[in-house]
Structure 1
């Protein structure tokens, strides 16, 4: 597409000093601007992808992909119970479905935990030891203490909750449930002390702050759920495709049940992330556009300074197309080189974000990242090919487009006018 002498002329113009009619300063400004814009775009896209990956990972790693509930039945006293009496049969049918890794009956309840004069509201989940091992981020957490094998003789709780209560593995904690023992004087709170067998940190603040796991049979006794379960949790092999499995899960669970997926429960967060993604991409695309406009200003100056050269080249027989390609190469080369530098910087930032963030946190004196606000315990970054390609395509497209105007202006320059005063 481009002849060798055209590339040679374009390269000479780019290297020419300002005293020779070149635009070396503007060239460097344009190149650095494009590189920084592409770097910012790739870094932002990498952090965005990392946020979603980590956020989804903590959801599906410590929560069910699908939770199956019962519509319940009316008791003789008029109360409505939503427990599942045939939970074992439902669990067996769900476990046999293709795409389902495991199904587990659970008991859920909200109680108060107290220790060392401190109180905290907690979410208690009753589950068997074998099923708890299938909860990925609890069985293989970021940090842990105690032993998961001792779970059947105690309870497991999140690390943030343990810190707030001032307890650790091997200590004891008191759980208080308002829905306790029923007697002639009414219902009295149920108070029971449990040994802490296991402390885990999954990396998501709202889970580490309130989550408590209790042995399934003990939870049935504690919450007055003898012979029943509250719901069945389902774990699939592909959480992103959970919607395609929903009809099969509904059919296997039965007509008297309904279900929630992890996307239903986290829909607001996912929509907020998607909206933020789109807004950030648009904003940073404008920055790339501004950076590429420097190419236009630089080429306009170059065309003005090289007017005599253009006139001489035209009189030597060069066509308008040749002149256009020469100056197009000047602008496109700046865009290509700047984009390449930006891609390298952006990829390095995504790959080495942990030491970079540690340095920033050290310089700022710590406390830059508050997991209680952002839910995730570290700044994530995930380098994806699609994000890099979108940044490259955007930058190169804008660089080529903004180059066309000054290149066409140079090509249409009248050689007689260019050499009139020479």
Structure 2
């Protein structure tokens, strides 16, 4: 009794390989097959490149937020003092900060004094937001105190101010130079409030990685900020850092309760959640659009395979009369079509991974060819185009491309398998 060969037997691979290696004059691989191969390669490359840039942009954006801003800001609700003035400060900020810092999952809680001033140096002016913070708490802001991106002497923070690199560049100052800070809310006199002007030495210049932060922010010792902004014995808010910023919304009620009566909280997700949600929607839309691009590229396999089936009609008839089953014929042409999808996918994955790994020199080359100005940090917030290669994105792109390639290959392969050998050999 004849034994039925198993699916994808060696002879099926041999026949498929002969068809793929055959010259076009012999009815082998057509130009359409090469077009589909190149199309799949470029589509998978574009999908992986887009996913890696998407992941890198979000990671860099979130890291600059978490590395230079409070994860949770605790501020006071408005109240009216004895003089009828509206106040939003904490007088018992030490006790409140200590109570918040004792919560599980909280790294630290630091009182802050904040104010907006005009900075002046070398005849230039710049609007600056000043953060009054202790030297110890400043060490917890990693993007600001990073020695790889900042320079100066943080040990002398109590003698001067730390300035963002964008502000320093705008004013034309460096470490050791003097900067005048001008506040409209100064000394109260019989003729009204006079502006307060005071000069400070720049002891540290930092680059947080966000254009809007580096261009507008300065740090001042907490005690000095209290005197400068008329906050003697008070703080404007509490800066809270937590262990897991992604779960900050779940911790917000406990932080608000620990901060005491009249305390309100504002998390980093409240401040940037709208942008992150818009980024997520954009990511999903781009994935769908590029998936359609992959589908279009794989559809070219159908055209090439139909031409191959038509050219090999005589061979199919001969193979069927020799005893090849419909399943064997189907698998032969399925291998021919799937081979294009597999090779194109692998080439696209390689190109996409190389793009994500070497994005910096690639971007520098594009910027050089374009004459500079391709990436404007004033518009995009961060200084360079980031890319983060995640294996989940790579596997998703591979699964999508291979799945579509295999599915579209089935239809022309079934057509070849159902070809009547009598009709195929009638005119031979």
TM-score, scaled relative to structure 2: 0.96
1:182-237 Cα distance to aligned partner (Å, 9 max, x none) = 22222221111111111111121000000010000001111111111111111112
Q: Does residue 397 in structure 1 map to residue 403 in structure 2?
A: yes
8 Å contact kept, 1:72–1:84:
no
Q: Does residue 201 in structure 1 map to residue 207 in structure 2?
A: yes
| Structure 1 residue 255, shift from structure 2 partner | 3.7
8 Å contact kept, 1:158–1:212:
yes
The CA distance in 1 between the partners of 2:79 and 2:371, in whole Å, is: 57
8 Å contact kept, 2:112–2:131:
yes
8 Å contact kept, 1:109–1:123:
yes
Q: 1:341 aligns with which of 343, 347, 350?
A: 347
Partner in structure 1 of residue 184 of structure 2: 178
The CA distance in 2 between the partners of 1:249 and 1:353, in whole Å, is: 41
The CA distance in 2 between the partners of 1:141 and 1:296, in whole Å, is: 57
Correspondences of 1:248-267 after superposition (within 5 Å): 248-267=254-273
Q: Does residue 385 in structure 1 map to residue 391 in structure 2?
A: yes
Partner in structure 1 of residue 358 of structure 2: 352
The farther-off stretch of 277-286 and 164-173 is 277-286
Correspondences of 1:21-420 after superposition (within 5 Å): 21-140=27-146, 142-420=148-426
Partner in structure 2 of residue 4 of structure 1: 10
SS in 1 for 2:138: helix
8 Å contact kept, 1:173–1:195:
yes
8 Å contact kept, 1:66–1:235:
yes
The CA distance in 1 between the partners of 2:381 and 2:44, in whole Å, is: 29
The farther-off stretch of 131-140 and 275-284 is 275-284
The CA distance in 1 between the partners of 2:171 and 2:274, in whole Å, is: 30
1:4-43 Cα distance to aligned partner (Å, 9 max, x none) = 2112111111111111111243332221211111111101
The farther-off stretch of 402-411 and 128-137 is 402-411
The CA distance in 1 between the partners of 2:331 and 2:120, in whole Å, is: 76
What runs of 5+ residues in structure 2 fail to find an aligned partner? 1-6
8 Å contact kept, 1:15–1:24:
no
SS in 2 for 1:143: coil
The farther-off stretch of 291-300 and 65-74 is 65-74
8 Å contact kept, 1:156–1:197:
yes
| Structure 1 residue 97, shift from structure 2 partner | 1.6
The CA distance in 2 between the partners of 1:210 and 1:73, in whole Å, is: 29
| Structure 1 residue 338, shift from structure 2 partner | 0.9
What runs of 5+ residues in structure 1 fail to find an aligned partner? none
1:252-297 Cα distance to aligned partner (Å, 9 max, x none) = 1124211111111112321221122122212211211111111010
The CA distance in 1 between the partners of 2:148 and 2:344, in whole Å, is: 39
1:344-375 Cα distance to aligned partner (Å, 9 max, x none) = 11111111111111222222222222211111
8 Å contact kept, 2:30–2:308:
no
The CA distance in 2 between the partners of 1:323 and 1:255, in whole Å, is: 79
**Corresponding pairs, count:** 422
| Structure 1 residue 141, shift from structure 2 partner | 5.6
TM-score, scaled relative to structure 1: 0.97
Q: Per the alignment, do residues 318 and 53 of structure 1 end up closer, same or farther by CA in structure 2, a change over 3 Å counting?
A: same
8 Å contact kept, 1:106–1:233:
yes
The CA distance in 2 between the partners of 1:345 and 1:44, in whole Å, is: 12
